[in-house]
Every structure is written in C-alpha cells, then in structure tokens.
Structure 1
Amino acid sequence: MTTGSTGQAGNDDASLHAVPLHEGWTLRHRGEALPARVPGCVHTDLLAAGVIPDPFLARNEREVDWVGRTDWVYDTVLPARATAHERTDLVFDGLDTIAEISVGGAAVGRTANMHRGYRFDVTGRLAADTQLSVLFSCSYDAAEAVRERLGATKEAYGEDPRPFIRKMACAYGWDWGPSLPTAGIWKDVRLEHWSTARPARVRPLVTVDTATGAGRVEVRIDVERTASGAGLALAADLRVGGVDATTVFEGDEAVVVAEVPDVALWWPRGYGEQPLYDCEVTLRVADGPALGHWARRVGFRDVVVDTRADEHGTGFTFVVNGERIFARGVNWIPDDVFPSRVTSARYRERLTQAAEAGVDTVRVWGGGIFERDEFYDVCDELGLMVWQDFLFACAPYPEEQPIRGEVEAEARENVARLMPHPSLVLWNGNNENLWGFRLWDWDKELAGDSWGEGYYLGLLPRVVADTDPTRAYWAGSPWSGSWDHHPNDPAHGVIHSWDVWNTTDYTDYLNDVPRFVAEFGWQGPPAYATLRRALPGGELVADSPEMLHHQKADDGLGKLERGLARHFAVPAADDFDRWHYLMQVNQARAVATGVEHWRSHWPVCAGAIVWQLNDCWPVTSWAAVDGDARLKPLWYELRRLYADRLLTIQRRDGAPVLVAVNQSRSGWDPEVLLRRMSVGGEVLAEARVRLAAGARGVAGAAVPDGLLPRPGSRTEYLVADADGQRALHFPVRDLEFAYPEPSYDVAVAELPDGAAGVTVTARTLVRDLLLQADRLSPEAAADRGLFTLLPGESATIRVTGWPSPDRAAAEAALFAVTGTSTGASTETDEGTRTGTTADTRA
C-alpha cells in the first residue's frame, strides 16, 4: 500500500493512460443503495434521491444532522482493461475525509485528510467486475478518537472536532454557516496506467528581472519509477514563451531552466494587463518515447511584501513589479457548504462579481479549503491577487502525530499545486490563532500543551521556503510580525477589526490608522427574494424562529439592532420591510466608514479586505453577495469605495477635510463643487476647490470658511461633487437629522437595450434611495444600489430580468431614509418642526 500526492501528471500522451471513474456509483447505508454522483457528497446524493429535505430551507438543517453522524459507503465496478503498462494507480484528488478504500474486497489504503490527494498501487488487482468501495467513517467519531489518543482535554478544546481532523473547518458551522459536515468523493477519481517513470511533482519557480525584462522559469521535477525505469537516463523538456530547454538525468529529481527575454509582465487589475504563458514539461526516456506531460499557465511578475519598520510602526504593503499597492480586497469563504457543487462557471461568476466591484485582492480564508485550480485560473485571468491561508482557523491545533504528518503533507502538496499561478501573492499561516493565543487565554487553558505555534512559526515557513521560495510567507492574520508586539496591534503588520461590530460602533473605525486591515465588516440581511425562497410560507419577521435560524452569529440580531440604534430608530420586528432596508443601509454605511478612512491614509494604511464577499447558504451575514448570488447594497457600495478614484470627506484634527484618493496610473486634479445645503433644498453657500492627487496618491484640502454646516445642526449638510462622484457630510447622526418626508416622481420606460429604466426625480432631499429589484421579480437586477438625490435631481436605474415593467410595482420596491428618528422637536432654518417617526418606505 502506498499513499501520497496525486501528482500533476497529464493524460494526453500514449505512455500514460488515465481512465476517469465518474460513472456507475452507488451510495449505501445500512443496506440501502442509492444512485451517487462523483464528484459529489452524501448530502447532495440524498437530496437528489428525495431522502432528505433541502437543509438550506427553513430549519431543515436540524432535520438532517444525522447524516454527518453516520458511516457511508460508495461503490462502483472498476473497468477491466488489458494493458501493457507496468503500473496501475487508483488516484483520488480529494476524499472527504476519513475513508477506507477497498478493491475486490481487499483494503488498499486509508485516508484522513480532505485537503490532499491520494494514490494507491492497484497493479494486478483489476479483473472482470472488480468492485471498488470507499467506506467513509463518521468524522465526529474519528476526531474524538484522535483526541483520546492525544489525551487532549475538553477544557482546553471544548467539544469542537475541528482541531483533530483535517477537514473543512466551517463544515461544522460558523457564525455565518450551517453545521452540515458531509462525506464523499468530492474531487476527481481515476485509474492511471503508466510505465517506466512518471512526473510525480512539478514545481515551476517563475521570476522576472524587472530591470532587463527577462523572465526565468526554473522547473523542479520529482519522478517516480517502476523497476524497469530504475537507473534509466531520462530527459525533461521545458517549453515556455517560445523558449525550449532540456535536461538529462538519472536520479529521481531534475531541474530544467528556461530564460525568456522581453516577457510581458502580469499585473493586478487596474495596474496593467494579465498576460499568461503556456508552460509545458514533457518527461521522456533520453532519446526515447514520452512518458508523461505536465502543462500549466504561468505569469511573470515580481511580488514582495514590504514589512519594514518606519516612523509609524511596521508596514505591510504589497509591491508588484516595483509598484506599491493599496489592496482593495474581500475575504472568500467556500461558496457552498458542499464544495463539490461549486462548478467552474460558479467560480467565474463569483470572482467576476468581485472584480466588477473594484476588488483586486481575494483572501482565501483558513477555515475553508484550498480551492480547485479553476478558482486560481480565473484569478490569474482577472488580475485578482490571492492571499492564501493555510487551513487553520480560530482554534488551538495539536502538533503531535498523526496530525502533524497530515499538516505537512497537505501543505507540501498544495504549495506545489498552486505555485504556478501568478495571482498567488502570499502564503499566510493561519486565521486568528496567534491572536487567539493572547485573546482567548489559550496559554492558561492548554497548560503548556501544543497549540499550533510550531506550525505557523516553524513548519509552514519551512515548507514554503523549500517548495516555493519565490513568495512571501506571513505567520498569521492578524499578526504584528513578532511576539514583541501584540498580535493585533494596529501599528504593526496586519490586524482584524472586530470590536467595532461586536461591541462598539462603526464610527470607531476612525480612531486609528492601521497598517493593513485583513478583516472587518458589518452584517446585513440577504435580498428579499433570497429570504422568501429560504423561508417559505408566512410573513417575514425579523425575530421569527426561521429568521433567527438563518442568523448564526452569537447574539447576531442583538448586535444588528444595537448597531442600528446608534443611527436610526429600530423598527418593530414585524415591520420587516423597514427593518430589512435599514439593516442593509447600515451595513453599507459601516463598511464605507472604514474603507474611506483607511484609503484616505494611504500609504500608511496599505490595504482593506472586507469580511466577506460571498455566502455558502442563505443567511444574514457580512457578505456582499448573498447565498443565492444576489448583490446586496454593500456590493454596489464596494464598487464605489474600491474605484480607482474616490472623493470623500474625512475628519482631520476634528474638522471636516475634503480628500481625493487616486489609485489610477495618471494624476487626478478634480474641481470639486462644494455646497452647504439646507434640509429644505436651499443652497446656503457654495465654492469650488481644486484638488491635485498624483498617480497612486492622495490629496486633501480644508473646507473653506462658510461652507461647513453649523456644529450640531440638524438641518444643514455639506455636498461635494466632482467627476460624477459625490461625498456628503452631515454634522449629526441620522437619528438626529431632520430628514424631510421624501417626495419624488417615478417613471418607467423601456430602454433601447430591452431593459427597463426606472427614473426617479426628487422634489426633496432623498437620502440613500434603493430600488430592491428582486421585489419586482426574483430574477430582476438593478445596475445601482444606494444613492442620494438633491431636490430637482433625476437618476435612472436600469433593471434587467423584469418581465412586466410597471410604475406601481417600481414605487413599491423603492425605499429611502425619511423623517427623524427621535420624535423630538428639531430645529429648521425657519424655526422648529415636530419630528416624525422614521419611515423608510416612500
């Protein structure tokens, strides 16, 4: 029996023949057999057979808990095929998770890691009607067995199985995800017939001399040989960028190098193009036939992370091809709690949504998986820099065997697998575990037991240095760079900002200038149509049992409502339409507060990665794209916040300052129209201010005298307009401002491209107007999110997927901030007016 990396060999030559094993599978449990899909998982097979209800709907998650606590068997019949090859391997690219593999009734291997592949020698075992069986054991039982073997105390680790099994951690639930641990053959499976030798591992080290424009590809090849290939001279041919190179060798390792002149550089989106080069390696007998072929696309770029100390602390800045970059990012979680359902098309759709929101950095979070190659292919093409976590999150992890061996094996395999991708810019050791050691008192609870530090500061950086020395490694997120500073010190390295969401207010983002923010965010509910599908029947109510079941954060509803209460009156739970709209507004406002502040402090602050882009099921969460792939108002706000050019009003030394943030490659010198406005629409003062922000720079200017609203005024505000951008400054919170009842006209017309145009003309100030297009039709989508109109202004919202455009329906789907929320008397320019109860629907 042999186990190890699946390798990366191709199947497009006569010497290696691969036979996919995706058909004819059954799933068995206690004697009952069902059709099974491979790749797939137990839950999706049970769903397809009608055995279980959809766990994403209502509270069905509870009804299917038994599935993850059960053993399952997958069976198929292996194809009997006469072959002249010396060796036949059974290859699994991914098994989830604890499995015993049997061929013809005899065990050939066992697995204990979802995050790596396995290869088993089955030479001579294939006859007519040979059965292949994969028995998946309950992951809870397997984790508990490891815990008992290690003598780990439940006082230190709780009941959590995650640290004791190399399985997708969020399968057991998270504060945005359900607890649905599954089992199954979640990646491809095949038979590989081969002779003499095969390329077992191929590692391309791609570098570029930015001064001369010359690229270098150094390919390191590990081979596996049969008895006939022992000691035989082999050759490795490399072809990349029109350059050919060859090396001849007799051992099991080889290096072949190609120097490619005048390469076109790969850039992050917004900084240049993303040229990709075919890189091909052929293994052959020296002066003889080909044995195996490997092919990937590579890109030439130079990436470093500048973590030098300076007068502000310790920096953390991505530098690509010599260009310093403010990272505009999103955190990525598995796009489905059942990852085998995520197709290549779904990867492309979701990552395109990220790119269209102005994102240039995607952090693959450590509680999920190493995504399939197609994910990174799309990032290569779109210019999305990938920050890749190793798979450790929010828990102490024992460093003893057998876990340590599995950790090293998965790390070496996945570093080698992913290193061809130019989009990959950083390996990160863990999510919140170095921080957690201090924050959650692990040192006291563990009483000296191992908890993962040896992985993050020892094993993993060594694996990266051995396997992929072209990329930077960072020990954790957050991490200050050493134990000399608190792991989450804003002045050093990378931070996570969660006190704001958990305990304070989003205006507290303004209290410091971190060097890099790798996690921050605010919750908001999914789209109305998503909730309607996920919670069928009855009226939607904010605190209904079904709604609360789709809110996984600890005291999530309480945090949402306390966060809202600092800015708006909290609607009654059964006033769902108003509650839903205001929560989405608050989510967008919170993220905007942070991003505008941090971008205005470039280059001291060099990145913001919002939590999170996507959801793995329909849920109230921090996501910008909900579990049914609908865009929340936050997504549209990110598109504004992450644009190359951003106009904002920030406070400096207690006074509002006009700031132009310019991340484009050319200078930006906008003439900004500033107007001090009354709540009734009168222009009280006006001026024009010229800003001059150089390429990739920031420029600021004080607001001229007479333009600032009176301190504490509830009836005056400042408007800044330039080049189609608008920034607003209100001297008090929404809760205190004397918003008028919004008044506007609505017209609906067919646009030349067949979409519907909803034109809104404001008669009053209309703050944060939102058309919830999915209320018009579940398939409908709008081209814009929240926006503000001044009296007399008009805007047209383009709506697609709306089969029967109708003005009354459009009016019912429009929402805006209105009224005052205190009910107290509020000043106006004419005197006083009686406050009205806040209402958000026009």
Structure 2
Amino acid sequence: MTPRGNSRVCVFAVSFCLFSGVLTGFSSVTDRRQTVSLSGKWRLTNGNGSVSLPAEVPGCVHSALQQQGYIQDPYFRFNDVSYRWIAFDNWTYTTTFTASTQLRTKQKVQLVFDGVDTVATIWLNEIIVWKTDNMFRTYDFSVRDLLKDGDNELRVSFLSPVLYASERRKAHSAYRVPPECPPDVQKGECHVNFIRKEQSSFSWDWGPSFPTTGLWKDVRLEAFDVLQLLQVSSVPLYSTKICFKSFFFFFQSSQVKLWWPNGHGDQPVYHLAVGGFQDGFLILNTKSKVYFRTVELVQEPIVASPGLSFYFRINGKPVFLKGSNWIPAHSFQDQLTPAVLRNLLQSAVDASMNALRVWGGGVYEQDLFYSICDEMGIMVWQDFMFACAMYPTEDDFIQTVREEVIQQVQRLKSHPSIIIWSGNNENEAALATDWFSIPVSQRPLYLKDYVTLYVNNIRAIVQEEDQSRPFLVSSPTNGAESEQEGWVAANPYDPHYGDTHFYSYILDCWDWRNFPRTRFASEYGFQSWPSFSTLQPVSIKEDWSYTSNFTSHRQHHENGNQQMLLQAGLHFHLPNSTDNLKRFTDTLYITQVMQAQCVKTQTEFYRRSQSEIIEGKGHTMGALYWQLNDIWQAPSWSSIEFGGKWKMLHYFAQSFFAAVLPVGFEDDDTLFIYAVSDLTETGSFVDQVTVYSWTDLDPVCTLKSDPLPVPGGSAAAIFKQPVAALLAGCGRCTRLTCLLTFHLEDSSGQQGPTNHHFLCSPKDAQGLQRPNITVRHIVQEDKTGYTVTLHSASVAPFVWLDVGNIPGRFSSNGFLMASRNRTVSFTAWRPTSVAELSRSLTVTSLRDVY
C-alpha cells in the first residue's frame, strides 16, 4: 500500500454494537433491552452417556473433565497422548433457563453464541435452531416464538472435530488438499485444514494436540423492541439490531493528540459518548474509546537497488518494528486469565517491543488482548487464521470463511493497535516452493484455489470493510511484487521485497553473514528448553534427563534436541557433570544461552541494516523474532516460558531492542560498532570500548571514538578498527585471552545498554575460569521488591539467577559480569521473604557447567 492522502488529516472509524452485527446508519430503536446471560453452569455428557458432569460456560470439555476430577492436568507428562480419546468422542452441553413474560413480549429475542468450538447442532426446546461449523464466528438467531413458560431447554450437540475433519477430507475426493497429517514427531491429528478451528489445536512443532470442544465464549439472550427505522446516511439501514458500522470524522492533526507505538510517543485516548432520545425513549446510549493515528505500508522503489521498500509509516513517521510473534497462550482458552494476558503483553513492552504478529494458526485474540495493545502502544500485525496448508474452496467452506472475516474485521477494526491484515501464514511460500510435492500439471488448480480464497474473498471483504489499513495476502510475501506475479511469487523469500521468514539450525548463528539482509524480518529464531522450575510440575524424577522419553516426547520439532546441542557446541563446551540432575539443568541452561546469543546476533544485524543498502539488499525495517510466548511446558522458540517466566532471551531483548543501541560485529578482521537510534532527533554519540582479560576484572585498556551525529531512526558506523591493531594497542591481549564491552555516550552520559563482543568462541577462551560468584546479601526494599548483590572473582559470561518456583522477574539476567560486584533487583509476583529467596536462589555462569 503506497502513501495516499494528506498526512495532516486524521481519519478514524468507530463501530457501535449494542447487540450484534453492523449497520450503516442511525436506527431509531429503544435501548430498553433485556439481556439474560446463559453462561455459567451447564451439564456435559459424552456420546453414549457414560460420562455426565457439570461444566462451566465459557469452557471446553477438557477443562470440565479436569475440574471434576475425571482427568489429571492434560499437560502432565504424556497426557496429551493419553487423553486423545476426548477429541474422538461426541459431546453435548445442556442447560435450562426461564424466559420471563416481559422478555417474551419484546418484539425481538435473539439467542447469541459468541463462540462455538466447533461443529455443533443447537436445539431449543427440542427444535433445531442452527448448525455451526466455525470456531471463529458469532452465531445469533431469532428465538422469540420458540420460548415458553417455565423451563426452556437449550442443548448443543458437538461432533468430534477430528472425525468431522476426516469425513470432510473423504468428501473432497476430486484432489488432495495437503498436508494430510502433521509430522509424526508432533503426535497430532490429521486434516485440520478441513475444519474452521484453531489450526494448532491439532498439534504444531511447539505445541500439543488438544482438539478442543465446547462453548468457548459467552451465551446469552437479548430482547428488544423496534420502534422505527430511519435512513440517515446514503446507505439504507437493513437490520433491526442497534449497531452502527462506521462514522468517519476528519480532523486536522493539530486538533487531536495522536496514538503512537511504544517508544515513539504516548497513547492518548478520547472517550466518545453517543446518545439520543425520541418521543421520550432513549434511542441510543453508548460509549467508545477513540484513538487517532494513520498507518501506511510503504512499498516504493529504492535508489540504486532493485526491488521495493517495505516499511510502516505511523502518523507520517517511518517506524522500525521491534517485537515478536504471538501464539495462543493456552491450549484451553477458558483457562487464559486476564492477569496472564496482561503480564505477557507487559513483558513485551518491558523489553522495548513495539509490535507483535498474531500468528495465523491460532485464534483471533479476545477483545482484552487488543485493548491492552491499544493502551500499551503495541502494534499488531494480524493474520487471518490460515497456516502452513492448502485449503478447500467448496461453496460452504468459502461462505463460512466470508462470515468469519466479516465478523472479525468488524469486531477489531476500531483498534489502533492493529496496523495490518495478512491473509495467511506461509501459504504463498508453501505453494511457490512446493512444500507438498504438487505435480506441475496440477499447480494451476492449487493456484486458482489460493486466489479464490485469499484474494477474491478475504482480500475483497477486508478492502470493503476496512480501508484504513493495508492488507497483505500472505506472510512471507513479496507484497506488491507478488501481486504483479499473480499473487504467488516465484520466490516469496526474495530479500529485495516484502517480509521474510528465515530459520537455519546448522549454520553458525554467530556469523551475521548467514542471515538474509531482508527488507523486513517477520519470523526467525532458535529453540531452547524452559527452566527446570517450569518443567518440574509436569514431570517426575525419571524424566529429568536430556535423553529421557519425556524430553523426546516433549520435543515436537524434528531433531530439535540435537540441533540445540549442535548449535551450542559450535561455541560452548557442553555440560558434562557426573550428577544426572545437574547435567540436565546445566543443559537446559546452555540451550537458553545459545538461543539468547543467536537471536541477539540476528536481531542486531537487522537493526544495523536499516540505513544501508549493500548489493541491493538492506533498508531492514522490522525484526519480529519467533516467538514470544509458550502454550505449554516444552522446548520451543519462545522467549517467555509457560507461566510467564522470562528466558535468557527475553532479558537479552531488553537490550537489543533498546531505543539507543551499540552493535558490534567483525568484517574482514575489522571491528565495526554501529550506533542504532530510534530517537526522534539527531544525537551525537561517542563509543567507548573497554578491553578485558578473561582472568582479570580490571580493564586492560579503554578506547573512545570521536563524537558522531546519528540521525533519529537510523543506524550509523561510529567505530572502526582492525582487531589486530586494537589488541596491539592494548599491549597484552590476544583473541583467545581477551573480550570487549562497549557503550554509547552523549553529553549527558551513557545512553543505552552496555554490549559485548567475544573475540573467540568462549570454548576456546584462555583464562576463562570459575568465577565463584557469591551472594553478598539480599535486601527487601518494599512489599514485592528485593535487591540481590553478587560478588565475582573473575569475568563471568551469561550469569543466570534463578529462584526456582518463586514467580517473579529480575531487572537483569544472563548478563556478562565484568565487575567485582553487581546488584540486581527482583520483583516477586507472590508474597515471599528474604529467607525463602536465599534458600531458593542459585547462580550459574558459563564456566560452572563443565
């Protein structure tokens, strides 16, 4: 989407929905409505009636079975396989309710289901009122004439999602729609692309197979009277529900305060109240939060470079997107609490992130997710829920998708946090690079299906419903170039266009030359294991080995456990303790060290590439690593463990996403240090480089660069020196005996974090010794805050503090300790004490694990 319009004019659209659906003009309707919640206690039975139990709505079968003691924690050990039977059974939810005479005298009574997961028949008083087939849709129907005095019975009968998907696949006999099944290592179910349901619920390479069934959102009755309909706008009013599609207001930007992404400004909110009376009746009374901002996706030719730019301009300002990818935070959405949701999003902000991509194999997140993103300034790249597969295009499938897209766009489009819609995850790449071995003769058939679903339907709907943001058909994609090539580019990974996904577990992640110099990196990353305290509640003693059945079972990425050690072994000695438990916990630690250092190197490469074009590549304007959060306790690419504990990677992200950042790297044995600035104004920076010996905490020497102006929103080289000359100038250093730290300073002092550069692999370092780090003291500062002071005898890389199962967060962790003493703070998320922290605290550094 190229820039258009006057950037000084702010446009916003507000959607009002008092009941459901969307209207295009004012309706003169009374607001004297009556709402009866049907959420709460229901009855749940399985297909043959052998299981009958109470169940909460919103909820799902797995949660109900666990709450009533029929099953253990589904996440415990191998229960994801043990409980497969649940998804193969049919289940029925039943409740009874009374409908008052007052309610039944209203002109309209609607039965509303906000979320039905997934394939169900809905009965009211033994009469079928609807059949559902889409987890992502809201269903509502008129039931006034079906209600009666006394008890009314509402029954929702669900079909097994696994068996339904299989039957739909069998019915599609003309040609296969790949993939048939997930890889064996995922221990999942087949044909998920034939059901409009959370795709990852059938398994993924980071998550279990729990194909849920249930009423996962609220159920209610809504009753109201219709007085008359008025046509105020040019579009005739065609619905009797109190809803308004969109009112457009035009303001000069000087008249309003703009919403900015985190780190670029504030997120001011306006409260809009709309109300009115007619003939003594309140016809409209609603309130809405309103934010003002503009967004453009700029794809323009670049001077002296083939291809097109690819960056976001917010309120007329180019913004580098810093962040991660979001997956479902729980297999059972009813167990995802607002506190957990807020903590995860706050963790993103606290790591200086300004963007998250809601990945297309999960769910459209709940309203609270987007409201928090609005509040915190987190930009959202919103995928539609299609991922890593081809999809059928029968009329009924297309129709339910159309309803899904209309409803989700209407629900979400008033959120300023959402800056782009994307049709799918990786399906252009899957088709272009032949993931599924499609014969050449059949390729036009699949290309036609692709265009039918994503272009002729999803894209067309989005462009009709929401012209305020850009739309991409896929991710990764060449964007405008893919469109020119018929929507599926020959190479959707071309770094001269669009966004890129890149993974390599074999190439050395410390060598920046192995990464693509892309316009926008929307996925990249490395796996690690979570901490022992996260794994312990779902495992037993015999599982605590890197080669146990449990660790093999929990790894859903082919050869993932071996790949982590292979990558770690390039630069680190692997743990070799003779104590089995220590060797296991040390191995968990070394995978986190490897992941943090790898993602740090790659992210810093992208950030320093934003102002350069080298061999036609560069102007990188986004770095969204895979992935922010976990769905269970298992190895994955996440930086936050299930339960909210930060991995070492997330602590590193605090630094590598900082607004002002020094980035060091070598090219032809020359050390370069770049200053990266997200600031609005130009800053003048000096780079200070400190050389340390591995054996001594006193610096060997210190160097300073001349001041250099660095424009805001750019990266510039600020220091350049051959490594040999730098070391010769320090007198007694070699690559094997020394390392570097560096930071930026302006006239007021240090700006941004202190960074480090290893002159050799730590496994080759001469003089790296056990630092014998001791805890000098722990002091309670306030109700939840503590400080921990450490003392070290030598330079210690990757110092990791862990307090076991005490939930909370350190101010810094996984750091290079190049001083004798260091104090960090700890914020506890539950009541604790100095004594408990002292008993629980362990300190590990790299040299302690071999």
TM range, smaller chain: 0.7 to 0.9
Q: How does 1:99-178 map to 2 (within 5 A)?
A: 99-127=120-148, 128-151=150-173, 153=175, 156-159=178-181, 160-178=190-208
In the TM superposition, what whole-angstrom CA distance separates every residue of 1:492-525 from its partner, at most 9, and x where no partner exists? 1100011x23666453565431110000111111
Structure 1 counterpart of 2:754, from 689, 702, 726: 726
Q: How does 1:68-87 map to 2 (within 5 A)?
A: 68-83=87-102, 84-87=105-108
In the TM superposition, what whole-angstrom CA distance separates every residue of 1:102-158 from its partner, at most 9, and x where no partner exists? 001111110000011101111121112110000010112221222222215558432
Query: What is the CA distance between 1:288 and its match in structure 2?
Result: 6.8
Contact in 2 for aligned 1:28/1:34 (Cα 8 Å): yes
Contact in 2 for aligned 1:501/1:521 (Cα 8 Å): no
Code of the aligned partner of 1:95? V
Q: Which moved more, 1:39-48 or 1:336-345?
A: 336-345
Query: What is the CA distance between 1:455 and its match in structure 2?
Result: 2.3
Give me the whole-angstrom Cα distance separating, in 1, the residues matched to 2:162 and 2:230: 33
Query: What is the CA distance between 1:219 and its match in structure 2?
Result: 12
- The answer to whether 1:782 aligns with 2:810 is yes
Query: What is the CA distance between 1:438 and its match in structure 2?
Result: 2.3
Instruction: Quote the residue 1:247 is aligned against.
Output: none
Q: How does 1:547-558 map to 2 (within 5 A)?
A: 547-558=551-562
Query: What is the CA distance between 1:743 and its match in structure 2?
Result: 3.6
Instruction: Return closer, same or farther for 1:673/1:224 CA change in 2, 3 Å cut-off.
Output: same
Contact in 2 for aligned 1:435/1:478 (Cα 8 Å): yes
Structure 2 counterpart of 1:190, from 220, 224, 235: 220
Query: What is the CA distance between 1:40 and its match in structure 2?
Result: 0.6
Code of the aligned partner of 1:364? V
Give me the whole-angstrom Cα distance separating, in 2, the residues matched to 1:747 and 1:781: 19
Q: How does 1:596-745 map to 2 (within 5 A)?
A: 596-603=604-611, 604-652=619-667, 655-681=670-696, 683-689=699-705, 690-704=707-721, 708-709=726-727, 713-722=735-744, 723=750, 725-738=753-766, 739-745=768-774
Give me the whole-angstrom Cα distance separating, in 1, the residues matched to 2:699 and 2:294: 51
Please state whether the residue corresponding to 1:675 is helix, strand or coil. Answer: strand
Contact in 1 for aligned 2:432/2:490 (Cα 8 Å): no
Structure 1 counterpart of 2:588, from 564, 580, 604: 580
**Matched pairs, number:** 773
Point out which structure has higher relative CO (alpha carbons under 8 A, 6+ apart): 2
Code of the aligned partner of 1:547? T
Code of the aligned partner of 1:783? S
Give me the whole-angstrom Cα distance separating, in 2, the residues matched to 1:486 and 1:472: 22
Structure 2 counterpart of 1:301, from 293, 305, 325: 293
Please state whether the residue corresponding to 2:420 is helix, strand or coil. Answer: strand
Give me the whole-angstrom Cα distance separating, in 2, the residues matched to 1:171 and 1:107: 28
Structure 2 counterpart of 1:409, from 395, 403, 412: 403
Please state whether the residue corresponding to 2:101 is helix, strand or coil. Answer: coil
Q: Which moved more, 1:527-536 or 1:502-511?
A: 502-511
Please state whether the residue corresponding to 1:404 is helix, strand or coil. Answer: helix
Instruction: Quote the residue 2:357 is aligned against.
Output: 363
Code of the aligned partner of 2:67? A
Give me the whole-angstrom Cα distance separating, in 1, the residues matched to 2:405 and 2:609: 36
Give me the whole-angstrom Cα distance separating, in 2, the residues matched to 1:95 and 1:219: 35
Instruction: Quote the residue 1:816 is aligned against.
Output: 845
Instruction: Return closer, same or farther for 1:418/1:184 CA change in 2, 3 Å cut-off.
Output: same
Structure 1: 5+ residue stretches without partners: 203-217, 227-234, 237-252, 819-838
- The answer to whether 1:267 aligns with 2:260 is yes
In the TM superposition, what whole-angstrom CA distance separates every residue of 1:214-246 from its partner, at most 9, and x where no partner exists? xxxx998954239xxxxxxxx99xxxxxxxxxx
Q: Which moved more, 1:427-436 or 1:273-282?
A: 273-282
Query: What is the CA distance between 1:479 and its match in structure 2?
Result: 0.3
Contact in 1 for aligned 2:531/2:589 (Cα 8 Å): no
Contact in 2 for aligned 1:16/1:292 (Cα 8 Å): no
Instruction: Return closer, same or farther for 1:765/1:616 CA change in 2, 3 Å cut-off.
Output: same
Contact in 2 for aligned 1:779/1:802 (Cα 8 Å): no
Structure 1 counterpart of 2:540, from 536, 546, 550: 536
Give me the whole-angstrom Cα distance separating, in 2, the residues matched to 1:709 and 1:266: 48
Instruction: Quote the residue 2:520 is aligned against.
Output: 516
Give me the whole-angstrom Cα distance separating, in 2, the residues matched to 1:255 and 1:767: 55
Code of the aligned partner of 1:729? H
Please state whether the residue corresponding to 1:430 is helix, strand or coil. Answer: coil
- The answer to whether 1:494 aligns with 2:499 is yes
Instruction: Quote the residue 2:849 is aligned against.
Output: 840
In the TM superposition, what whole-angstrom CA distance separates every residue of 1:294-316 from its partner, at most 9, and x where no partner exists? 54322111100111121343221
Instruction: Return closer, same or farther for 1:193/1:802 CA change in 2, 3 Å cut-off.
Output: closer
Query: What is the CA distance between 1:720 and its match in structure 2?
Result: 1.4
Give me the whole-angstrom Cα distance separating, in 2, the residues matched to 1:308 and 1:748: 57
Please state whether the residue corresponding to 1:515 is helix, strand or coil. Answer: coil
Give me the whole-angstrom Cα distance separating, in 1, the residues matched to 2:604 and 2:231: 45
Instruction: Return closer, same or farther for 1:187/1:478 CA change in 2, 3 Å cut-off.
Output: same
Instruction: Quote the residue 2:470 is aligned against.
Output: 472
Code of the aligned partner of 2:266? E
Contact in 2 for aligned 1:221/1:255 (Cα 8 Å): no
Q: Which moved more, 1:651-660 or 1:613-622?
A: 651-660
Code of the aligned partner of 2:82? E
- The answer to whether 1:758 aligns with 2:788 is yes
Give me the whole-angstrom Cα distance separating, in 2, the residues matched to 1:155 and 1:370: 24
Code of the aligned partner of 1:584? Q
Query: What is the CA distance between 1:60 and its match in structure 2?
Result: 1.2
Contact in 2 for aligned 1:21/1:191 (Cα 8 Å): yes
Query: What is the CA distance between 1:684 and its match in structure 2?
Result: 4.2
Contact in 2 for aligned 1:761/1:795 (Cα 8 Å): no
Query: What is the CA distance between 1:289 and its match in structure 2?
Result: 3.4
Give me the whole-angstrom Cα distance separating, in 2, the residues matched to 1:150 and 1:65: 25
Instruction: Quote the residue 1:462 is aligned against.
Output: 460
In the TM superposition, what whole-angstrom CA distance separates every residue of 1:668-687 from its partner, at most 9, and x where no partner exists? 33333223333322644432
Please state whether the residue corresponding to 1:368 is helix, strand or coil. Answer: coil
Instruction: Return closer, same or farther for 1:735/1:807 CA change in 2, 3 Å cut-off.
Output: farther
Instruction: Return closer, same or farther for 1:485/1:74 CA change in 2, 3 Å cut-off.
Output: same
Give me the whole-angstrom Cα distance separating, in 2, the residues matched to 1:544 and 1:453: 46
Code of the aligned partner of 2:119? I
Query: What is the CA distance between 1:570 and its match in structure 2?
Result: 2.7
Instruction: Return closer, same or farther for 1:619/1:89 CA change in 2, 3 Å cut-off.
Output: same
Code of the aligned partner of 2:121? E
Query: What is the CA distance between 1:259 and its match in structure 2?
Result: 4.5
Contact in 2 for aligned 1:501/1:559 (Cα 8 Å): yes
Please state whether the residue corresponding to 1:636 is helix, strand or coil. Answer: helix
Instruction: Quote the residue 2:315 is aligned against.
Output: 321
Contact in 2 for aligned 1:386/1:423 (Cα 8 Å): yes
Query: What is the CA distance between 1:753 and its match in structure 2?
Result: 2.4
Please state whether the residue corresponding to 1:486 is helix, strand or coil. Answer: coil
In the TM superposition, what whole-angstrom CA distance separates every residue of 1:432-483 from its partner, at most 9, and x where no partner exists? 1000112334472555443533323332221111000111001111001213
Please state whether the residue corresponding to 1:460 is helix, strand or coil. Answer: helix
Code of the aligned partner of 1:697? S
Instruction: Return closer, same or farther for 1:807/1:186 CA change in 2, 3 Å cut-off.
Output: closer
Identity of aligned residues (%): 29
| Cα-Cα RMSD | 3.0
Instruction: Quote the residue 1:794 is aligned against.
Output: 822
